[in-house]
Amino acid sequence: MAPHATDAQGQATGMIFTESAPRFTVQSPNVTYNDETVTSKYTYRTTDINVTDGKFVATPKETIYDFKTELKVGKVGLMLVGLGGNNGTTVTAGILANKRNLTWDTREGPRAANYYGSVAMSSTVKLGTDSKTGKDVNIPLQSLLPMVHPNDLVIGGWDISGMDLAAAADRAKVLEPSLKSLVRKDLAAIKPLPSIYYPDFIAANQSDRADNVLEGTKACNEHVERLRADIREFKSSNGLDKVIVLWTANTERYADIIPGINDTADNLLKAIADGHEEVSPSTVFAVACILENAPFINGSPQNTFVPGCIDLAEKHGAFLGGDDFKSGQTKMKSALVDFLINAGIKLTSIASYNHLGNNDGKNLSSQKQFRSKEISKSNVVDDMVAANSVLYKEGEHPDHTVVIKYMPAVGDNKRALDEYYAEIFLGGHQTISIFNVCEDSLLAAPLIIDLVVIAELMTRIQWRSNGEQDWKSFHSVLSVLSYMLKAPLTPPGTPVVNALAKQRSALINIMRACVGLEPENDMTLEHKLF
């Protein structure tokens, strides 16, 4: 793990690399380093297909891009919508525990703070092959490019419940009591800002938590301006270079897409000013973040990013990412379905049953909110099915059913039961049943960290086509975050990729391109041709 530079007051100012930390340089005429940036000239190789009378003609294609990555990370703030919920208290306590290198007693013995479950902090990537031994050289993913370290994040945010985070952690019942006691003082010092509360968008059973809300129950310009002021104040008072906002609050119902209301940026802004009933709280947060140029990530399944919201982000060059954390059951599903279909096995039905007892489960016991989750969980297999025309003819799709039940007794220990039924050779069948017990918030918290760390990195990368003079940022919709999300948001008109291996490969290979390295290559021809 790379150390971090600090100023005279001990505040983090950004990542530095020393000889003791994993580091590398790329020796290539296509890569240039200076104190502020690393610039690469990268040849992107794809294959164009021309289809004529059912015949395919494949033509290799090369496109040259320049990438420029700012090396200084700066000081980053994370504002959570739903700060006092299970995920908010868990990720805050986890960062505090890691920052202080805490250990605590459990029934199974002592445990130490870690970032297990974070692809950025706890996974490795193949850098290349050792020229002397022929063995793969693997480095931490976080070493590919400078990234904000989670320990350096400044955390704040909003919640409809006014509990301080120590009391909220007691209510959530996620953390070990011995760990909670070690961070209680720090958690008690954090109190959420008042949030917006539109009762029509979340379950009625959440009303007893809503004691920390701004006046008004429909969208309005006053709410947008108050949230913008909160972001500015948080940034200023903490001396931050940038703020990233992430929604980890209740699942909302889907908003209706209405022409003239939320279909364009101008119409959406007018709808907010008019207090239209189909503008959700999460969309109001997204608009406020866009106008403040603070990246906004949606960790719940509702359609926060209505067409007008994406249009507004594109016009302002602001970043969005979503939707819905891909943590336990759905991550398993996207990995297993990817494996089975790529193995030529025809899935014919997938039945997924969940029961959980946390507040997320309580909110999802309402049918409108459950429908948002059902959509995000069900669509996770679509692109993998569409990619195999041998197994699935046009319009054919596996039966896919998702059930979620609220069972308070199990708390945050969600039970997920899945049955995969498939057709195999000569009309035979295979059934795979999985019983997955997921500590829900302990899986979601590392995803929050990954989403923030990667989103922040993407704000420091620019690109241009070869020969162009002007640098551009990535598209406003950060589809590179899809590895962490159930229902990945993509730029309008581009395909959705939900296959887990493809998502991780895209993330890593974009980072490799920024330092002038070819995509990961596992052909190992150097060992096969002799």
Q: Tell me how far CA of residue 224 lies from CA of 81, 168, 195, 252, 387, in angstroms.
A: 14, 26, 11, 18, 42
Give me the pLDDT at residue 530, please. Answer: 66
Instruction: Record the tokens describing residue 179, joined without a space.
Output: 């760990």
- From 94, 126, 106, 183, select the one nearest 449 (Cα to Cα): 94
Q: Lowest-pLDDT range, 217-226, 476-485, 486-495?
A: 486-495
Q: Tell me how far CA of residue 313 lies from CA of 127, 430, 457, in angstroms.
A: 35, 46, 18
3 state SS of 244: strand
Q: Which domains does the chain have, with CATH numbers?
A: 76-325+442-452+474-499 (3.40.50.720), 329-439 (3.30.360.10)
- Max intra-chain CA distance, the chain: 74
Residue 356: partners with Cβ closer than 8 Å, 6 or more residues away: 404, 406, 407, 410, 411, 412, 413, 414, 415, 440
Give me the pLDDT at residue 380, please. Answer: 81
Give me the pLDDT at residue 5, please. Answer: 35
CA torsion sign, 320 to 324 to 329 to 330?
Answer: negative
Give me the pLDDT at residue 244, please. Answer: 98
Instruction: Answer whether residue 16 shows pLDDT above 80.
Output: no
Q: What is the pLDDT of residues 43-98, one digit of tens each?
A: 999 999 999 998 999 999 999 999 999 999 999 999 999 999 999 999 999 999 99
Do 158 and 194 touch, CB atoms closer than 8 A? yes
pLDDT confidence tier of residue 304, bands split at 50, 70 and 90: very high
Q: How far apart are CA 33 and CA 24, in angstroms?
A: 12
Work out the number of other CB atoms within 10 angstroms of the CB of residue 419: 14
Give me the pLDDT at residue 410, please. Answer: 87
Residue 24 buriedness (CB in 10 A; 0-12 / 13-18 / 19+)? middle
CA torsion sign, 476 to 481 to 482 to 486?
Answer: negative
> Position of tokens 């969940």?
354
| Cα 225 → chain centroid | 26
Backbone dihedral region of 411: left (phi > 0), alpha (psi from -120 to 50 degrees) or beta?
left
Q: How far apart are CA 172 and CA 93, in angstroms?
A: 12
Q: Which residues are catalytic?
A: 324, 373, 414, 486
Q: Lowest-pLDDT range, 47-61, 74-88, 251-265, 370-384?
A: 370-384
Do 133 and 53 touch, CB atoms closer than 8 A? no
CA torsion sign, 206 to 210 to 215 to 220?
Answer: negative
Query: What average pLDDT does the structure give for the chain?
Result: 91
Instruction: Record the tokens describing residue 263, joined without a space.
Output: 């279909």
Q: Tell me how far CA of residue 424 lies from CA of 271, 381, 415, in angstroms.
A: 52, 19, 29
User: Edge to edge, what strands does the sheet with 399-406 contain?
Assistant: 399-406, 346-356, 413-423, 429-439
Q: What is the pLDDT of residues 270-303, one digit of tens each?
A: 999 999 999 999 999 999 999 999 999 999 999 9
Do 216 and 280 touch, CB atoms closer than 8 A? no
